[in-house]
Structure 1
Amino acid sequence: MLMLRFAKLLLLLALLSGPAFAGDTRVAVATNFTHAARALTTAFERETGHRVRFSFGATGQLYAQISQGAPFDAFLAADQVRPQRAEVEGLAVRGSRFTYAMGALVLYGGNKRPVQEGTLATTAPDRLAIANPATAPYGAAALETLAAMGLLETYQERLVRGTNVAQAYQFIATGNAELGFVALAQVFDQAPTDYWLVPATLHRPIAQDAVLLTRGETNDAARAFLTFLQGPEARAIISRMGYHLPTAKGGASDG
């Protein structure tokens, strides 16, 4: 009996020694950031004891869900427009918005062929995958790139639009499109010849902002996650996963 009581005491001490007041938070995250978000939550949960649940989707789609009352505590977008709009419309806590990553666009061929700057002009694939430019900032950047290269008219009828950048990637991976524009974060661990890194001068900067939503204003786990996202450990993970880091002036650093 004494040993049983001692075992119960040890179990109670173990439970009490964990992070105090650990909580849960639900975060809406732009699809391009899927791999990075999962790496971040592992480090965050280990450090704090809080738990994070992600819902991934196109930035525009997630914003529509937030505006309709979806139960998210924080929003990690692929642009600055929607988080700013959330502040203006009272959906987010004013002053909580910050840029957590600077995205990069690539032309990707799914390991089928080397891809370089002149590939679109010389090979003219029948189908070119992009994310929906109306809801996904990476899709909008793809259209801007085609326009800057003088190829928008050539490819206008050949575009295969995914609901988000993850689906655009799947179109390429499954052979439903020969080439496509996706996020560097989706292919950064592949051979450099598999993709062409689009110069940032060909499209508007893909500054990705995070914001605390009003629903999460009193959620300690949500606040802790956004604080962690701005810290050195998180920034190292973000840089490693194919993003540039925002500078104090709002530009990009190579990290």
Structure 2
Amino acid sequence: MHATVIPEQASRAISSDMPVVRTAALEIDDVSVSFPGRSGAVDALTGVSLDIACNQFVSIVGRSGCGKSTLLRVISNLIPATSGAVRINGLPSEDYQRKRKFGFVFQDASLFAWKTARQNIELPLEVLGIGSAGSRRARALELLSLVSLEGFADHYPAQLSGGMRQRVSIARALSYEPDIMLMDEPFGALDEFTRREMHDELIRIWRSRSLTVVFVTHSLSEALYLSDQIVVMAPRPGRVKAVVPVLHPREADPALRASAEYIRQTEELEALIHAQ
């Protein structure tokens, strides 16, 4: 079973005779990003166009410096695009940000050391003025249960393992019920065993919520295990090289990694990244 590679320019149905009907949750249209440098502007992204359907799990892969994290920050309106546009459910990204419908999980869990797991999850709700103290507490306990940390509500980050801290970070990102979860190498600092456990946890959490996930990773195996489709980026400046549908059904099944289809698709992704 070979992966089907869809060149980015053919990944949208575009006709000169008919209007384009957009049904994607996330629409990225011809986005470019340049940063000022000592010897002139540095192009981080150029002409990136991509549609991501509602409730899809999409991973972005590519060599270091290809603009994966930059693209994630443009989607969330943390940095502006130099040109082009991002729309989420039909709204410009800056308007969607004001609706507080993004969840963002970074590689570092970035928890407040002086707050318990429960208090870290409650904090965004408190800052945004959402709910009463009692309802925020109930929401935090519900999310701790979702990430399998029921007995750790009163533990501080220093008392938790790396995987546990990242689960708290995911729960915190889910606290205000986002539609889209953006994840930037969230498991990159974990050991391989914990990382694989977190893959299955993330699949379970994703299935329990109506979420669209955009997931940045350097690991092709991780992307293949988690995703509906994989966006392969080419570097300098970053651009979409191809969109690769994942052919196997996504299931939390560690045996999948040993299958011939999985190994073949991983090898094909690696060849695609290294191809000129």
Query: Structure 2 length as normaliser, TM-score?
Result: 0.27
Q: Which has the higher helix share?
A: 1
TM-score, length-normalised on structure 1? 0.29
Quick check: which has more Rg, 1 or 2? Answer: 1
